[in-house]
Amino acid sequence: MTVVRFLTALLVSLAATAPAMSQDRRVPASPADLRLSYAPIVQHVQPAVVNVYAAKMVQTRNPLLDDPIFRRFFGGGGQPPEQMQRSLGSGVMVDPSGLVVTNVHVIEGADQVKVSLADKREFEAEIVLKDSRSDLAVLRLKDSHEKFPTLDFANSDELQVGDVVLAIGNPFGVGQTVTHGIISALARTQVGITDYQFFIQTDAAINPGNSGGALVDITGKLAGINTAIFSRSGGSQGIGFAIPSNMVRVVVASAKSGGKSVKRPWLGARLQAVTPEIAETLGLRLPTGALVASVTPNSPAARAGLKLSDLIVDIDGQAVDDPNAFDYRFATRPLGGTSQIDVQRAGRTVKLAVPLEPAPDTDRGEVALTTRTPFQGATVSNISPAVADELHLDSSTEGVVVTDLADDAAAANVGFQKGDIILAVNNQKITKTSDLVKATRESVRVWHIVVVRGGQQINVTLGG
């Protein structure tokens, strides 16, 4: 038997003994299989993948103008000159009416957004919805009166490591480009891009400009939205990350329903990872699952019967490896009804039905601070359950939290960060945004501020 015949027989044998769930997947069984083409898939997909161009005006200021002597002799007063700043990305048409999904970071801060179709036509677009927690945005083409080609969503929970995928986008602005590879890993959680750490990893070449483009499976369905790369050089090194289609589907559904934000289920419990030391203490064979560190009174978790030290191991029949996996699974559940959660409690399995409802958003009291103080340019909010959920805070936390910072504003320049909790200003306790507004109206030379960041209290003195 020749080597080729032997290898062919071996591959056929392996395919015949594969598990039942993998019978629709096979490795090439002959040289003829290697001559197969992805062209039919590409021809189906390409019309629905678009280029996204975002532009914004930024002020350019010469740092020498900050020197009063320079200004005296050389002038330069008045408004700094403006310059157009452009960014490039990709997008995917997900509704025939002209809805396009892309990444938030592609269109963030844009004054103007344009979409270029595969046939070279261009449309201005409006931003329908931005969901910073998932880094997904939905655009709508303006003045369009036709039905556009779209991509259907794949069920990203059915993807397997080793599945062939195609990445389509506009890398480096060279034009629409197709690359292929496999799914290298699923449920990547240590990426640090979005709130929901649960990414598809692929070795299909993804480069700058691919952000927002399509990752499609072998049937031509949308498996994910290409979002980031791991690179030491700025180019593709075979490690790219995509947001799973099941998360994309949730954001698109919110946009179609007319929502300006994405409403997701709220658990009302703080979870922590199971370390090897914790696993040993609990008598676990493996350090997996999500350990309940606290439960908010009257929350869905509390009403379902979730308790401190419960170990969540499964949600609706899907295993939970860590808190990130649970957060993603729970966030993709539709509101209404319940979700079944399996927990390990005192050596036995307990099944709980958790109501799927959004976090209460009462008394947010959001305020943008504009007075000339160290807080100028900061947007602050009371810590409602919804705010606590968005910023991963304990809902029992007291104080006022920074929810946004304007670029180059005083608050950003002195070091405030999103998520900082302000407890006191000049010995005045801050419990509501109205307290902080009142404190910033006072004219003082020295500011004594107490801030909590990452669970650590920081005492700051500014001015003087």
Please give the pLDDT value at position 6.
45
Residues 208 and 172: beta-carbon distance below 8 Å: yes
Looking at the predicted structure, is the pLDDT value of residue 447 above 80? yes
Please give the pLDDT value at position 442.
80
Backbone angles phi, psi at 156, to 5 degrees: -65, -15
* Proportion of the chain in helix, strand, coil states, percent, rounded to 5: 25, 35, 45
CATH 2.40.10.10 placement within the chain? 46-141, 156-256
pLDDT tens readout for residues 369-397:
888 888 888 999 988 888 887 787 776 77
Please give the pLDDT value at position 175.
74
Looking at the predicted structure, is the pLDDT value of residue 3 above 50? no
pTM for the model: 0.75
User: Which CATH number does 367-463 carry?
Assistant: 2.30.42.10
What CA dihedral angle connects 394, 370, 416 and 191, to 10 degrees? 70
Give CA–CA dist 445/427, Å, rounded: 14
Tell me the catalytic residues: 105, 135, 211
Residue 123's pLDDT band (boundaries 50, 70, 90)?
A: very high
Given CATH 3.20.20.300, say whether it is the number of domain 269-355.
no
Contacts of residue 414, defined as CB under 8 A and 6 or more positions apart, other chains included, come to 374, 462
3.40.50.300, 1.20.1250.20, 2.40.10.10, 3.90.1150.10: CATH of 156-256: 2.40.10.10
Q: Compute the average pLDDT of residues 116-130.
A: 90
Range among 45-49, 155-159, 170-174, 401-405 rated most confident: 45-49
Range with lowest mean pLDDT among 29-38, 220-229, 427-436: 29-38
Question: Which percentage of the chain shows pLDDT scores above 90?
Answer: 28
Please give the pLDDT value at position 173.
67
CATH 2.30.42.10 placement within the chain? 269-355, 367-463
Give CA–CA dist 383/393, Å, rounded: 9
User: Which CATH number does 46-141 carry?
Assistant: 2.40.10.10
